[in-house]
């Protein structure tokens, strides 16, 4: 399963870097939004770092958003997968019945 | 009740976080079952919660990317994802979206983009809904006549005609059980890509039926393979919107927690649903989406939002019932088999 996860991540990374134009879900071009995030309202150092990045380096923010989303997707996928396995349902096969 | 509100550090406001979890969950269920991103469902929900529109679309896309990963992995284990087909289709999708986006820019220059896009969207959704219900009616009649083929009783079989086109290279998509010219999925994905780029949507709504009716995928494979494409496009969308400062990451994390659970429910429910059941429920979702766009066109924004959220709630409930009933029956049968063996 780990190989499948790693293989998928590598494939996605390759496709995304090879074809940077498929703004499929993007729904057209988005204009740059100028909003300055206020660090004074937060305590966490990680949050402060991300807000700094948001304020000064949009490209890096895009990279972080992609990495964090993918990482969280994989982690939550793995965790919920483990929970589903414990239900006793057969999660590896199914019959394709159209009618 | 302060604990029910969470501070969004980028947008700088508090939001009712259980609402985000609920939206994520519902869209996870529906997306996992139908094989689509579901941006059209999320935006009205975020709007209701008071989420600033400037961040709504970007946050929505990031959450869809993460949610589609969960669903794709689960579908993959069921054997519902034809990766080869997915990768071949990416080629057509990429070119198609660029062409669609260029058409929009041309219409923008003419100053006619708004109404044209909306009415084309309505037309396309109407066509999809018509196809789904017409196919269902035809299939029911075929079954009543006893006209049952290899894949059971079928309604629309346009894919059979398209499979007769033998332009090389011919490809065998093992998981989908299709042998056809590689140009067929490329052309179909190009077509859906043009429409997606033109309409400014993810494309799952268009690709899923196209995979079924034009490429000839069994419904379950169409759902899984489509989610694989939604995942790729969603990740790119996350990058581009993130770089433009349009993603509230903390909201995405919260929505993803609900979506990951919902995606498991929706995906596992496909195991207990028949292909035509998925298609008909999909047709109803498409109809709800179409009516909401018409309502928006005539400025009935609140009615459109209520309709979308009502449809999302009802369809999610329907899918959860399928999943729970199916799982309960499977576990009961398993237990009975164990008792018999003992």
Q: Do B275 and A54 touch (CB under 8 A)?
A: no
Q: Do A38 and B12 touch (CB under 8 A)?
A: yes
CB B307 within 8 A of CB B18: no
Q: What is the pLDDT of residue A30?
A: 52
Q: Do A80 and B260 touch (CB under 8 A)?
A: yes
Q: What is the pLDDT of residue A93?
A: 76
Q: Split chain A (99 residues) into runs of 10 and give each run's mean pLDDT.
A: 50 44 42 72 89 92 95 93 88 71
Q: Do B244 and A64 touch (CB under 8 A)?
A: no
Mutation choice for A interface testing from B137, B240, B258 by most A CBs within 10 A: B240
Start-to-end CA distance of chain B, whole Å, equals 53
DSSP conformational letter for B167? P
Question: Any CB–CB contact under 8 A between B146 and chain A?
Answer: no
Question: Any CB–CB contact under 8 A between B283 and chain A?
Answer: no
Q: What is the pLDDT of residue A27?
A: 43
CA–CA gap between residue B213 and residue B160 (Å, rounded): 9
Mutation choice for A interface testing from B193, B244, B254, B325 by most A CBs within 10 A: B244
CB B271 within 8 A of CB B78: yes
Question: Any CB–CB contact under 8 A between B220 and chain A?
Answer: yes
Please state the ipTM of this predicted complex.
Answer: 0.83
Phi, psi of B16 (to 5 degrees): -75, 100
Q: Residue B199's CB: how many other CB atoms inside 10 A?
A: 21
Alpha carbon of B157: minimum distance to chain A alpha carbons (Å): 13
Q: What is the pLDDT of residue B26?
A: 92
Alpha carbon of A61: minimum distance to chain B alpha carbons (Å): 6
pLDDT beneath 50, residues of chain B: none
Residues of chain A with C-beta less than 8 angstroms from the C-beta of B244: 30-33, 58, 62
Burial (CB < 10 A; 0-12, 13-18, 19+), residue B337, is exposed
Domain ranges across chain B:
2-341
- Counting DSSP H helices and E strands in chain B, the numbers are 12, 4
Question: Any CB–CB contact under 8 A between B234 and chain A?
Answer: yes
CB B58 within 8 A of CB B247: yes
DSSP conformational letter for B200? T
Q: Do B78 and A91 touch (CB under 8 A)?
A: yes
């Amino acid at each position: 399963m780990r190989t499948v996860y790693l293989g998928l991540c590598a494939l996605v990374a390759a496709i995304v870097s090879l074809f940077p134009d498929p703004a499929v879900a993007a729904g057209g071009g988005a204009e740059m939004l100028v909003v300055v995030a206020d660090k004074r309202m937060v305590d966490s150092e990680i949050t402060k770092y991300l807000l700094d990045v948001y304020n000064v380096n949009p490209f890096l923010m895009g990279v972080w958003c992609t990495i964090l989303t993918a990482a969280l997707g994989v982690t939550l996928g793995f965790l919920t997968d483990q929970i589903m396995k414990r239900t006793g349902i057969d999660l590896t096969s199914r019959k394709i019945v159209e009618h | 009740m302060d604990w029910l509100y969470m501070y969004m550090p980028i947008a700088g406001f508090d939001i009712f976080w259980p609402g985000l979890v609920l939206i994520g969950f519902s869209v996870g269920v529906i997306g996992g079952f139908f094989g689509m991103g579901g941006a059209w469902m999320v935006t009205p929900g975020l709007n209701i919660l008071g989420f600033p529109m400037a961040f709504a679309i970007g946050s929505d896309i990031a959450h869809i990317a993460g949610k589609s990963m969960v669903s794709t992995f689960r579908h993959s284990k069921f054997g519902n994802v034809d990766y080869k087909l997915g990768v071949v289709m990416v080629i057509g999708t990429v070119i198609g979206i660029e062409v669609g986006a260029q058409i929009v820019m041309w219409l923008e220059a003419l100053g006619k983009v708004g109404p044209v896009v909306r009415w084309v969207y309505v037309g396309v959704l109407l066509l999809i809904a018509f196809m789904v219900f017409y196919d269902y009616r035809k299939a029911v009649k075929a079954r009543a006549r006893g006209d049952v083929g290899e894949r059971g009783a079928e309604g629309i079989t346009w894919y059979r005609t398209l499979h007769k086109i033998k332009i090389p290279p011919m490809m065998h998509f093992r998981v989908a059980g299709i042998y056809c010219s590689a140009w067929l999925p490329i052309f179909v994905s190009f077509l859906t890509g043009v429409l997606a780029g033109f309409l400014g949507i993810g494309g799952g709504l268009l690709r899923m039926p196209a995979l079924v009716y034009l490429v000839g995928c069994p419904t379950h494979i169409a759902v899984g393979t489509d989610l694989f494409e939604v995942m790729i496009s969603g990740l790119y969308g996350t990058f581009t919107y993130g770089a433009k400062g349009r993603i509230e990451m903390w909201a995405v994390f919260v929505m993803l927690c609900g979506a990951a659970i919902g995606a498991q429910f929706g995906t596992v429910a496909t195991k207990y649903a028949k292909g035509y059941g998925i298609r008909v429920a999909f047709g109803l979702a498409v109809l709800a989406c179409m009516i909401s766009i018409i309502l928006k066109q005539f400025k009935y924004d609140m009615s459109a939002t209520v309709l979308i959220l009502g449809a999302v709630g009802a369809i999610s409930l329907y899918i959860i019932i399928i999943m729970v009933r199916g799982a309960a029956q499977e576990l009961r049968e398993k237990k009975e088999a164990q008792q018999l063996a003992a």
